[in-house]
A and B are shown apart, each in its own frame.
Chain A
Amino acid sequence: MSSSLSFCLSVTLNPTMSEKMFIIGNEALGRAARAAGARAFYGYPITPTSEVAHYWAKQACSEKGVKDKLVFLQAEDETGAGFMLIGGVLAGTRSFTATAGPGHVLMQDAFAMAEAMRVPVVAYINQRGGPSTSTVIYSQQEVNLACYGGNGNGYRVVYSLATLQEMYDYGIKVFNTAWKYRFPTFLLGDGYLGKMMGEVEVYAPEERGIKMEPTEAYMLERNRTRPMAEIMPEPNYQLRSVDGVDYDCYRNCLNMEEQAMAVNTEIKAAFDLVAPEIIEYEEYGDQDADDLIVAHGIVSAAAKVAIDDLAKRGVKSRLFRPITLRPFPVEELRRAAKTAERIIVPESADNQLARIIKDALCGHIQAPIVEYGRPCASILPREIADLVTSKK
């Protein structure tokens, strides 16, 4: 009984006390994973995310890291890393990876498998330029990939982050979402957030009353401390049994159309069931304003600065920021958009967030949608303010 569960708890109870630090976003991510009690990192370094791997490698080699049996494994490439990550999770270890751009593309093969098998893999992703190698700097062009990559239907959770502090806060939270709901769960940041340095308050989860979801072995059933039926998060997900061993859908290779449809239907039903619990969004500014800005990630941070500047000039505007891009806060956006006279969508991509918004609002609003796509380029607060003050 003292096996995996008690071990994970001993790792979770990190004695770190709350402390304000001046660090880069990638270090905040690494520290968050450590504070969350993650044990294994599988990855391949890539700019602008490499410092997560650097941090973990140092931790794994430290005296405390060795004692905690931390795993740092640099694979031959991101494809290998993605599948190793699945292996770590199946063994019941709180595991994660960190990647970007082309590495994120390669990992989609493994992420699709995790989606098929409901394996709670966690990935920290910093978007960089694209398509292909492009720049190592910044973009918001990995929205499609994070939300809908792979050959499935996009049943994964994607948090889009706007500030350095969120890199830490959600860096912890992502593990709980993954292990509670059993979907691949991603943090979507960008090169700016990964590389910028500023104040981050780090803390141990228990200091904030955050209880870490216990991990449990999917395979290696002899290591399980609870019956499989208790581990699966919702009752409508079919538990299968062969020769007295319970398992859920461990197959990513199926023979019949009917089987494939059944599995996909099951995954969709589970995703739809838990989506309302997972969805997060934020509203900012004057809620009576006619102009509604819809932005995510660091562009939403720029939008807040623009809204404050405009308010000083007597111009009203407001922001709807989806924090979860998957599942998307569809109903909440519809409600916010209902009273808007114009919807402005700035994004450092072409029609990635905008497509999701149009999908959500189609048939629900009359207001025009102004798209401001700046693929791979920053969007300064002033640009957003200019969009608001420009003639309708």
Chain B
Amino acid sequence: MSEPFKIIICGEGGQGALSVAEIVARAAWMHGKKAVCMPYFSTEKRGGVSMAYAQIGDEPIVYPKFSEADLWVALSQRSVDRIHSYLKPDTKCIVNSFLVKDVSTLEGHEVHEIDATRIAKEELKKPRTFNMIVMGAMLRLIPGLDKAAFSEALERQFKDKYERDPSLREMNQKGFDVGYELIK
């Protein structure tokens, strides 16, 4: 792809939108792609909406912002409005259906509603796997990145944490696998 693949992700502060963008971009970079990511940071912390940009491509990417996303991820209802202007006709969307109840403004787009919050809490009994589930689902829609490469990137990203607590590896991988299977 000559044009970079553009991802925007938005959630409530603390949901991990920034971490997801960073891990996805870093994974792509480790896989030999060019990648950049940037938070849309502000003074707000708790109670605010946080948003991040990530781009993945084959050529160096110099400008961190863009106006139209290829992959659009909203983790909460407020996020849907916040990043609505980044939609173009063929944008693919993922929403966290636990918090996003109204997807009427996304009509006409390919929308994947995944209940990452509930799955993390009730099925995996580990709320912390929420991000992994979201990333697993996202990976299905990002061209040029396969599951094995991403797992390898996770392994390197969390090397220190895994050494301290090996059970974290299993937990993350499980969340990631579950997310990956949510989108076919």
Contact = CB atoms under 8 A, between A and B. Distances in A.
Interface of A: 22, 47-48, 135-137, 162-164, 191-192, 195-199, 298, 301-302, 304-305, 378, 380-382
Interface of B: 22, 25-26, 29-30, 34-43, 60-67
Contacts of B22: 197
B42 A135 contact: yes
Contacts, number: 62
Contact of B29 (A136, A164, A199): A199
B34 A381 contact: no
Contacts of B25: 22, 197-198
B7 to A, nearest CB: 13
Main secondary structure of the interface of A (DSSP, over half): mixed
Given A22-B26, A22-B29, A195 B41 contact: yes
Given A198-B25, A380-B67, 13 more contacts: A22-B30, A135-B43, A137-B41, A163-B62, A164-B36, A195-B38, A196-B36, A197-B22, A197-B37, A198-B36, A198-B37, A302-B63, A304-B62
Contacts of B43: 47, 135-136
Contacts of B30: 22
B85 to A, nearest CB: 13
8 contacts: A22-B26, A47-B43, A48-B41, A135-B43, A137-B40, A196-B64, A197-B36, A198-B25
Contact of A305 (B29, B36, B42, B62): B62
A304 B62 CA distance: 9
A164 B35 CA distance: 12
A47 B42 CA distance: 9
Contacts of A199: 29, 34-35, 60
A328 to B, nearest CB: 23
A163 B60 CA distance: 11
- Specify which of B22, B25, B36, B41 lies most central, judged by the most chain A CB atoms within 10 Å of its CB: B41
